[in-house]
Amino acid sequence: MKIFNIYWWERVLDLPFKFYRETKWFIQRGKRGWADCDAWSIDDYLAEILPPMLKRLQTGSHGIPGWSNDEDEEVAQERWNKTMEDIIFAWESQEKICNTDWLYYTGKERIQAEKHFKNDSGTHVMTKEECEKYRLGMKNFIKYLNCLWD
């Protein structure tokens, strides 16, 4: 019971400081677009904000990058949707990797990790196919970075 009381009081006493930090970060995001806490783990921050933005772009975009008059518009749209799905998968995977829900290993490391984490129900070691799709999505993100606008 004593431990619970100490934990509870630490939480209560931290509330003013938490309010101060959250307010400060809110103001920083409003002024410069990002907060100090976002820079502490940029990969985690981007993995959190990019998937919803990419999904919104995928459903509401008005253009198809790389579409030429030689190609049918429907085929080009399907190709672009597949590319966007790969990019979204990569960033959703990155979020899971940052949260340590998924582990990204390749080659012998992956096989060893699968053996080690086989009985751990909370951790998923990415399959070879998932790793390849993750790499393809990140490669396409870099390739089409200048096309991610509407």
Task: For 118-141, write each residue's pLDDT tens digit.
Answer: 666 677 888 889 999 999 999 999
Q: Is the pLDDT of residue 3 over 60?
A: no
Q: Where are the domains of the chain?
A: 1-35, 41-147
Sign of CA dihedral 87, 93, 135, 33: positive
Residues 18 and 130: their CA atoms lie apart, in Å, by: 38
Three-state secondary structure call for residue 125: strand
Residues 31 and 26: their CA atoms lie apart, in Å, by: 9
Q: CB-based contacts of 57: which residues, under 8 Å, 6+ apart?
A: 84, 148, 149, 150
Task: For 26-68, write each residue's pLDDT tens digit.
Answer: 999 999 999 999 999 899 999 999 999 999 998 887 778 777 6
